[in-house]
Amino acid sequence: MILYKIAHHLHNAAPVRAIVVAVTALLLSSQPSNATQADDTSIVLVSRTAGPTPFIRNLNFQVNPIANIRTVQFTIQPKAGSVTRPISATYSSRYLSSRGYLDPAGSMKIPVFGLYDGLTNSVTLNYVFRDGSSTQHVFSVLAPVFRDPCHYNERIEVLPRTDSTRLSYDFMLLKNQCDQHSPAVMDTDGALRWVGSAGASELPSAFIDNAMYVAYGPQLLRIELDGVVSLVADYSNLEVLNFHHNMDPGKFGLLVEVDTRTDTESIIMEVGLRAGHVIKKWNMASIIASAMRAGGDDPSAFVRRGEDWFHSNAATYRASDNSVIISSRENFVIALDWSTGAIKWILGDPTKAWYQYASLRAYALNVQSGGLAPIGQHAVSITYNDNLLLFDDGLRSFNQNPPGNKRR
């Protein structure tokens, strides 16, 4: 604009116009023609700091200008001989800011989780900027040795993994009570890659909503993958003593199994993932006793509150018919209407106690010729093609009579 004004006022001075044109050309030629934010942003590693466990390390940077950052992705390269895919995660600048990991003054912390303990890990960071440009840096990150109180490294390989084996998954969630690092994550090479940081030694746990959930007495805790722990809810006010067995995905939240002062392993709740509010609650003692009375049976010998008459160990939600399916190790698999709690069907061993009652037998599914009714089932889930999948341990009832068949 300044050069334009000079040229306008001196339009009759040809030598001056020539000088102005030459200066303008010089200024334009000095500007990069393809400059991007990747070129103009300085990212300097200032420190590496320990995370809550040896499997987590923080890379701390000074970035200028920090406003250019859109996302940062880290990728941990598998170790030599591995047949797993890399662990990788992408952080948005909004997420980093919400966690206090990105400061307008220019500091940025990138938590890297899933490292191999006791090794120097090759970690690639990919920075994507707001103009769509990107750049990468590679870092060597040494993770200390993790003390393995659960002896995961002393596993017995029934069928060793081979280099040619291809699986649809690379990581497994392991429930444990052997130390205060529940839960744990192992890759399909058998290497431990993550452990809980809540100080919890509880079996009920799940990975959902990009975080680990674990029980702690009557409390539900959430562990972010970077190891930060928060309290979701405390259910003491509902007379919950503890969680047991599984946590499973529900319709909207998490299906959990709890013991209370009056009921042992016969209450299932669906709770919210963030605030932990109770979305639905199914008291199997009340539901089954009511159905038995409605069908003309006396439930007192079958439903025995305070005793382990039901023994719930897993639950799952089936979207196709809006049902919650619950595994009762002592008795059967039972489907309830998610909204009303009404019994839809029962699948189980007809030689067990439940089948002796006409009121419950009326809900029984018939097993096709050559098929097997489940006995002592666990881990119910719904497959991609809407079938029921479960593990059958083949054990008869412990606390019902007759106890039914057994397969081992």
User: Does 41 share its domain with 27?
Assistant: no
Inside any domain, residue 194: no
How would residue 28 be classed by pLDDT, with cut points 50, 70 and 90? very low
User: Does 15 share its domain with 48?
Assistant: no
Instruction: Please give the single-letter amino acid code of residue 338.
Output: W
How would residue 167 be classed by pLDDT, with cut points 50, 70 and 90? confident
Of residues 372 and 23, more confidently modeled: 372
Q: What pTM does this model have?
A: 0.88
In angstroms, rounded to a whole number, what is the distance separating the alpha carbons of residues 309 and 304?
6
Q: What are the DSSP calls for 166-216, one per residue?
A: --S--EEEE---SSS--SEEEETTS-EEEE--S----S-EEEETTEEEEEE
- Say if residue 30's pLDDT is above 70: no
Could you tell me which residues are beta bridge partners of residue 325?
316, 335
The CA distances from residue 7 to 23, 25, 223, 235, in Å, are 12, 14, 67, 79
Which tokens sit at 281? 């609650």
User: Does 296 share its domain with 367?
Assistant: yes
Number of CB atoms found within 10 A of residue 292's CB: 20
User: Does 23 share its domain with 121?
Assistant: no
Domain count, the chain: 3
* Helices 2-9 and 14-29: angle between axes, nearest 10 degrees: 170
Helix (H) or strand (E) holding 78: none
User: Does 53 share its domain with 13?
Assistant: no
pLDDT at position 22 = 45
pLDDT digits (tens, 9 = 90+) for 353-379: 999 999 999 999 999 988 999 999 999
Exposure of 383 in the CB half-sphere (CA atoms within 13 A): 5
Inside any domain, residue 41: yes
Instruction: Please give the single-letter amino acid code of residue 266.
Output: S
Phi, psi of 39 (to 5 degrees): -75, -35
User: Does 239 share its domain with 386?
Assistant: yes
How would residue 155 be classed by pLDDT, with cut points 50, 70 and 90? confident
- Say if residue 189's pLDDT is above 70: yes
pLDDT at position 26 = 42
User: Does 352 share its domain with 381?
Assistant: yes
Could you tell me which residues are beta bridge partners of residue 141?
121
The CA-based dihedral angle spanning residues 230, 232, 235, 236, taken in that order and rounded to the nearest 10 degrees = 20
Inside any domain, residue 274: yes
Residues spanned by the domain of 18 = 1-31
pLDDT digits (tens, 9 = 90+) for 299-314: 999 999 999 999 999 9
User: Does 307 share its domain with 266?
Assistant: yes
Helix (H) or strand (E) holding 124: strand 120-129
| Helices within 52-101 (DSSP H only) | 93-98
Mean pLDDT of the chain: 91
Inside any domain, residue 195: no
User: Does 25 share its domain with 58?
Assistant: no
